[in-house]
Amino acid sequence: MVGLAGPALAACAPSTGSSPAPFRYGVASGDPDSQSVVLWTRHDPGIAFVTTSRAAPAPARKSKARSKSRAKNSTNVTRSLATVAVPVRWEISQDESFSNLVGSGEVQALPERDWTVKVIPTGLAAGTTYYYRFISAQGTSVVGRTKTAPTGPTSALKLGFVACSNFGWGAFHAYRHLANRTDLDAVVHLGDYIYEHASAGFGDTYGTHRALDPLGEILSLGDYRRRYALYRTDPDLSELHRLHPMICIWDDHEFANDPKAGGAQNHTPATEGDWFQRVGFATQAHAEWMPTRVEGDVAYRSLQFGSLATLVLVDRQRRYLFPQPDDGDLYLGRAQAEWLDATLSAAESTWVILGSPSNFGPNVAGQTGGGWGLRDRTRAINAFRASRSGNLVVAVGDIHKFRAMDIPFVPGQYDPATGAGSAGVEFAVGSVTSPGATDPNPGTQVKYSNGSSRGYTLMTFTGGSVDTEFFGFDDALKTSSQLPAESRLAGFRVAAGTPHLVPMSNPT
Ligand SMILES: [Fe+2]
């Protein structure tokens, strides 16, 4: 049964944080649908004294005397410390006092999952706020708040968007501002949730603002687990997870910088081991520590928010992380590209939100480039155009800046004055801490570019429009120990049926 939870095995995880032991990493929720949501926590490792009886050596020849002796010796015991599973009870309720539970159960915290616990209660009501907590013999977690997705006719949806949160480069002020909001349905993280580098691994002045754990580049399963644990000791990120369901898609730094065929820019097989074994470690730690339904290598998925919006998340690293022989040179690899075709063309909601860690459309003159390239972008847009949805909004991370732009479809046919020829709109959602640069030579389709602010993006969807607003603060303030005031950097409205940007001076 339950052993004593002790600090000895917690050495793999830093012990500071806003939540008390044994649930020192707090709680989190994610990937809501209309009937269920992922609930997450981690319990301190279970250790207990295990008592073992030791039998006497077998006698050479039976005799009464020897039998007596063996019986006496069999009472010898040894006691040793061992890890033991920890039963953890979970509860979910519509009220913070948990007086009327709508679900409860028990799961085991286990060493093979790094003592993380993930449960998915079902049978919940759509579009409903819930409170949840975890309980063990050693204590009770903080209370988390989450929300299921709506179903059917839906009048409004408000999503927060974040990306690129490098722990060493500054405080997670953007997370705190987002956590403080009370009007969100969910928060979408578009990748680079962790970074794999050693402390000061980029050699920049911000690199040592906060020391990392481990100090070196993360390579082993234990390393990746410790890096996630470090991030979850951050009180701002912990509070964001506690108060809002998060929907997360990985980019490259959850593994290593810039994956490429058979490896990555930041992976040296001679000294850092097999690339695909490292990918496996990163994938496992991600599944353990993130409040996601993703348990294996398929991270691309879609989430439905009633009749109003379909959120489609793609894994742009897939062809390098999990290559298949028939991937060809497709940007997303074969299976994911075909899944995206089917998903986009089947969409029936007013808005389709394509969440891509990398930029989708062309941001410079010429209208052919962009992260996806003309061919793969055109394929996705054509699939979208075959659907019953008329409105495409792309949200991207990766580039460490805020940017708002139309997406020219056919090169040479876009009119920047009227927006005619735009297939949809694209927003780069800013970075939490990672530094960026304002576009030096943007094309006429780019209506806003800001690489000097850190922050987050809000999108408010209704049947008639989507309002997108950038919130943030100056880059230099990310190293402040005090929470800097945020300001509304810019806002844009897109009316349903007219896929181009219109500046919006007043807040939504
Ligand atoms: Fe990044």
Q: What is the pLDDT of residues 169-217, one digit of tens each?
A: 999 999 999 999 999 999 999 999 999 999 876 655 555 688 899 999 9
What's the mean pLDDT when you consider all of the chain?
Answer: 91
Domain-embedded: residue 122: yes
Confidence of residue 507 (pLDDT cuts 50, 70, 90): confident
Task: Show the beta-strand stretches assigned E in 20-96.
Answer: 27-30, 38-42, 47-53, 77-83, 86-93
Asked if 103 and 139 sit in the same domain, the reply is yes
Ligand 1 center to 166 CA (angstroms): 8
The pairing of strands 453-462 and 156-162 is antiparallel
Whether the Cβ atoms of residue 131 and residue 92 lie closer than 8 Å to each other: yes
Domain boundary among 62, 83, 104: 83
Ligand 1 center to 322 CA (angstroms): 21
Asked if 26 and 76 sit in the same domain, the reply is no
Asked if 355 and 268 sit in the same domain, the reply is yes
Asked if 73 and 218 sit in the same domain, the reply is no
Domain-embedded: residue 103: yes
Ligand 1 center to 36 CA (angstroms): 30
Measure CA 114 to chain center: 18
Asked if 252 and 141 sit in the same domain, the reply is no
Reply yes or no: is the peptide bond before residue 323 cis, omega within 30 of 0: no
The pairing of strands 502-503 and 391-396 is unpaired
Asked if 194 and 77 sit in the same domain, the reply is no
Ligand 1 center to 362 CA (angstroms): 19
Q: Determine the pLDDT at residue 53.
A: 73
Domain-embedded: residue 5: no
The continuous run of DSSP H or E covering 494 comes out as strand 487-495
Ligand 1 center to 407 CA (angstroms): 22
Domain-embedded: residue 125: yes
Ligand 1 center to 434 CA (angstroms): 6
The pairing of strands 351-356 and 391-396 is parallel
Domain-embedded: residue 198: yes
Ligand 1 center to 165 CA (angstroms): 7
Q: Determine the pLDDT at residue 76.
A: 78
Ligand 1 center to 398 CA (angstroms): 5
Whether the Cβ atoms of residue 38 and residue 120 lie closer than 8 Å to each other: yes
Domains held by the chain: number: 3
Confidence of residue 59 (pLDDT cuts 50, 70, 90): low
Name residue 357's amino acid: P
Domain-embedded: residue 54: yes
pTM of the shown model: 0.92
Ligand 1 center to 430 CA (angstroms): 10
What residue numbers bound the domain in which 60 lies?
Answer: 47-83
Ligand 1 center to 255 CA (angstroms): 12
Domain-embedded: residue 1: no
The pairing of strands 144-147 and 129-136 is antiparallel
Q: Is the pLDDT of residue 68 over 60?
A: no
Q: Determine the pLDDT at residue 74.
A: 52
**Residue keyed to tokens 């074994």:** 277
Q: Is the pLDDT of residue 8 over 70?
A: no
Name residue 191's amino acid: G
How many residues belong to the chain? Answer: 508
Ligand 1 center to 345 CA (angstroms): 30
Ligand 1 center to 192 CA (angstroms): 5
Ligand 1 center to 229 CA (angstroms): 19
Q: Residue 29 belongs to a domain with what CATH number?
A: 2.60.40.380
For residues 420-438, give the mean pLDDT.
96
Asked if 378 and 320 sit in the same domain, the reply is yes
Domain-embedded: residue 247: yes
Measure CA 335 to chain center: 22
Give, as one character, the DSSP assignment of residue 284. H
Asked if 61 and 118 sit in the same domain, the reply is no
Rounded CA-CA distance 204/181 in Å is 32
> Cα 101–107–112 angle (5° rounding)?
150
The continuous run of DSSP H or E covering 188 comes out as strand 186-189
Q: Is the pLDDT of residue 17 over 50?
A: no
Helices 373-385 and 334-345: angle between axes, nearest 10 degrees: 30
Range with the poorest average pLDDT among 103-107, 357-361, 410-414, 424-428:
410-414
Whether the Cβ atoms of residue 119 and residue 105 lie closer than 8 Å to each other: yes
The continuous run of DSSP H or E covering 319 comes out as helix 318-321
Measure CA 358 to chain center: 15
